[in-house]
A and B are shown apart, each in its own frame.
Chain A
Amino acid sequence: MSVTTRYTDTPPAPDEDQVSPIARKISDIVLARPLSPGWLAALALALALTLVFAVAIVYLIATGIGIWGNNVPVVWAFDITNYVWWIAIGMAGTFISAALLLTRQVWRTSINRFAEAMTVFAVIIAGLFPILHLGRPWFFYWLAPYPNIMSLWPQWRSPLVWDFWAILSYLILSILFWYMGLIPDLAVLRDRARRRAAQIIYGLLALGWRGEARHWQCYETAYRLLAGLAVPLVFSVHSEVALAFSAGNTPGWHSTIFPPFFIAAALFSGFAMALTIAVPLRSVFGLKAYITDQHLDNIAKVTLACGLVVAYSYLVEIFNAFYSADHYDIYTTLNRLQGPYAWVYWSMLLCNVAVPQALWFGRVRRNAAALLIISIIINLGMWLERFMLIVTSLHRDFLPSSWDMFYPTVWDWAILAGSLGFFGLLMLLFVRALPAISMFEMRKLEAEREEGKP
């Protein structure tokens, strides 16, 4: 090998050829790629829906929850359905990232970054719904313990207060985990950026990261610790969402199976959402070399496994209702199967139990278009499941004189559609502003692969 010696005062040679192909490919999506008409069209749609979301929220706060279809037996409807649906989507990202890191599943590296972004955005949106459904949302901070002139403290024995702490902790930890993974990649963006504004912004965000060996050592220790802390937190957050239901004595909610059932359901919908995002992401931005068919196949397998646990939970719920011999439990179950909302129940079974069985077939798991369709069907089914669980338990309660139906208003739909648009907006901005795939982990993986070669 020839040794060349140069001094700092000679101009650096253009050494674009030494830039890691992975770093170039992924950082160019952020720094160099022109805005495509498709992305702009999607952004326009997402912005329009975000505007709908904003208008619906402002109108809600100005008027009150009477603008929704909620009524006296059905006090929870779209609001809490949306909340549980979004927070469930927010479970899989951190789970994918943390649990697969701890179990040394190298295929995680391609999908963890956007899955974490999905988590953070979904949890932010989920957190809005319990606040919005309060009636007087501007008092939501009463949930926090702070010395106040009313001499009041939160009721710590309530699952709703547990939920507050669970969401708060989970949101903070998810943001830390996501940001920490981003730091070395932000440093790459800083070094690749040619425009002054980009250099300053990414430079500030990278915190001066310079990749010193001892820094990496501390970094990896802290990153694994965060992963180890995130996994039990994922389980606790969704268990506490479930406890908010099962601690009440409402038939159809008052069941010990709820926490594990909710966790399986959360992972099911979260992995489905990861597929819904991964398929367009990799085809639009040409990332098929990194998010391969094998990755989609693996996500599909996990989705199928979670779906089977969910299907089992549906069976156990019915069995438990009859086994309890409780008049009200049996009635609620029969009402779900053949009452006015039976179409929701059977559509849910179609979406969540029947359709995912296609994932048993390798040919389906390796067909990206089929996976996209199935994952959207699962997302829909999981939304129907939460709607079914919430509304069918409430609309015919203990007192037949107060039985009623729930009909969504235009504002219910506006908030649901608006939240989807807002999520889309955040994801669209994310893929163009931050590296959608972890560059340093992909480069490490590639270096280890090359070393492994004889």
Chain B
Amino acid sequence: MNDYGLMAEFGEAGALLRAARRARAEGYRQIEAYTPFPVEGLAEIVGGRRNRIPLFALAGGLLGGAGGYLLQWYTAVIDYPINSGGRPLHSWPAFIPTTFELTVLGAALAAFFGMLVLNGLPRFYHPVFNAPRFDLSRDRFFLCVRAEDDRFEPAATRIFLETLGPVDIVEVAH
């Protein structure tokens, strides 16, 4: 099988939501939905689970904050101690602002790059771009059943997709 899948095009988000639910109920598991703007509930239907981006952000924040604090502590207490009027070298309240900034920066970088990594971006070539009418500027919503799905049968799947009332159905080549 050389094809990537069959892609049905819908005229509105609601139709795509219904179609994705039907395809799921039909037993298809390798389905993808493409929309020009986020459609609530769609990711859950096509098999999206709770993503780990908040976890990434937490880890990034902790790393940034702990790293920032340790850097300040090491440089101000161990490597370059300055006795300023007998004040304590480990003057932690004065280290908080920088620690805070680095916590936020670490979390933000982790959230952004975590999003790219989990989505497999940047990826400049993708088979769905071969579909002639695939264009995010149009108010069109796409459901793609992958050829590698166990239940995928070119003819049967096409007949099934036609029952969902799409505007168009195309084969997506690799």
Considering the chains assembled together, what is the distance between the CA atoms of A233 and B109 in angstroms?
14
Contact status B53-A218, CB under 8 Å: yes
Closest 8 pairs (CB-CB, A-B): A207-B122, A217-B43, A222-B115, A153-B75, A157-B94, A12-B132, A444-B37, A162-B97
Contact status B98-A213, CB under 8 Å: no
B residues 143-158 touching A (CB-CB < 8 Å):
158
Considering the chains assembled together, what is the distance between the CA atoms of A15 and B9 in angstroms?
13
Contact status A213-B115, CB under 8 Å: no
Contact status A145-B71, CB under 8 Å: yes
A-B contact pairs, 25 of them (CB 8 A): A11-B132, A24-B137, A145-B71, A153-B79, A156-B98, A157-B91, A165-B97, A168-B101, A173-B108, A184-B136, A208-B126, A210-B134, A211-B37, A213-B20, A213-B43, A213-B48, A215-B119, A216-B39, A218-B53, A218-B119, A222-B112, A225-B53, A226-B111, A236-B100, A447-B37
Known contacts A166-B101, A215-B119, A221-B54; A6 and B71 CB within 8 A of each other: no
A232 interface residue (CB < 8 Å to B):
yes
**B115 CB contacts on chain A under 8 angstroms:** 180, 218-219, 221-222
What's the dominant secondary structure at chain A's contact region? helix
Q: Interface size of B by Cβ–Cβ distance < 8 Å?
A: 80
B94 to chain A, nearest CB (A): 4
B18 interface residue (CB < 8 Å to A):
no
B36 interface residue (CB < 8 Å to A):
yes
Contact status A210-B129, CB under 8 Å: yes
Known contacts A173-B105, A188-B36, A218-B53; A8 and B130 CB within 8 A of each other: yes
Known contacts A173-B104, A211-B36; A5 and B162 CB within 8 A of each other: yes
Contact status B53-A222, CB under 8 Å: yes
**B47 CB contacts on chain A under 8 angstroms:** 214
B149 to chain A, nearest CB (A): 16
**A203 CB contacts on chain B under 8 angstroms:** 124
A residues 188-244 touching B (CB-CB < 8 Å):
188, 191-192, 203-204, 207-222, 225-226, 229-230, 232-233, 236, 240, 243
A443 interface residue (CB < 8 Å to B):
yes
Known contacts A8-B132, A217-B51; A188 and B111 CB within 8 A of each other: no
A151 interface residue (CB < 8 Å to B):
yes
A44 interface residue (CB < 8 Å to B):
no
- A residues with a Cβ closer than 8 A to B are 1, 3-8, 11-12, 15, 18-20, 23-24, 27, 145, 151-157, 159, 161-162, 165-166, 168-169, 172-173, 176-177, 180, 184, 187-188, 191-192, 203-204, 207-222, 225-226, 229-230, 232-233, 236, 240, 243, 440-441, 443-444, 447, 451
**A165 CB contacts on chain B under 8 angstroms:** 97-98, 101-102
A249 to chain B, nearest CB (A): 15
B60 to chain A, nearest CB (A): 10
Considering the chains assembled together, what is the distance between the CA atoms of A177 and B169 in angstroms?
36
Contact status A172-B34, CB under 8 Å: no
Candidates B12, B124, B137; contact of A23 at CB < 8 Å: B137
Contact status B111-A214, CB under 8 Å: no
Given A15-B133, A213-B48, A444-B38, output 12 extra A-B contacts at Cβ < 8 Å.
A1-B165, A19-B137, A156-B98, A157-B76, A191-B135, A211-B136, A216-B38, A216-B42, A222-B111, A222-B115, A440-B36, A443-B36
**A191 CB contacts on chain B under 8 angstroms:** 135-137
Contact status A156-B76, CB under 8 Å: yes
Contact status A145-B75, CB under 8 Å: yes
Contact status B169-A5, CB under 8 Å: yes
Interface centre among B75, B80, B119 (most CB of A within 10 A): B119
Contact status B114-A222, CB under 8 Å: yes
Considering the chains assembled together, what is the distance between the CA atoms of A208 and B115 in angstroms?
13
> What residue in chain B is nearest A21 (Cβ atoms)?
B139
B residues 32-60 touching A (CB-CB < 8 Å):
32-39, 42-43, 45-48, 51, 53-54, 57
**B34 CB contacts on chain A under 8 angstroms:** 210-213
Known contacts A20-B36, A156-B95, A216-B38; A208 and B122 CB within 8 A of each other: yes
Considering the chains assembled together, what is the distance between the CA atoms of A290 and B126 in angstroms?
33
B140 interface residue (CB < 8 Å to A):
yes
Contact status B165-A3, CB under 8 Å: yes
B residues 5-24 touching A (CB-CB < 8 Å):
12-14, 20
Candidates A207, A212, A221; contact of B51 at CB < 8 Å: A221
**B116 CB contacts on chain A under 8 angstroms:** 207
**B48 CB contacts on chain A under 8 angstroms:** 213-214, 217
Candidates A20, A156, A220; contact of B38 at CB < 8 Å: A220
**A176 CB contacts on chain B under 8 angstroms:** 108-109, 112
Contact status B128-A192, CB under 8 Å: no
B160 to chain A, nearest CB (A): 12
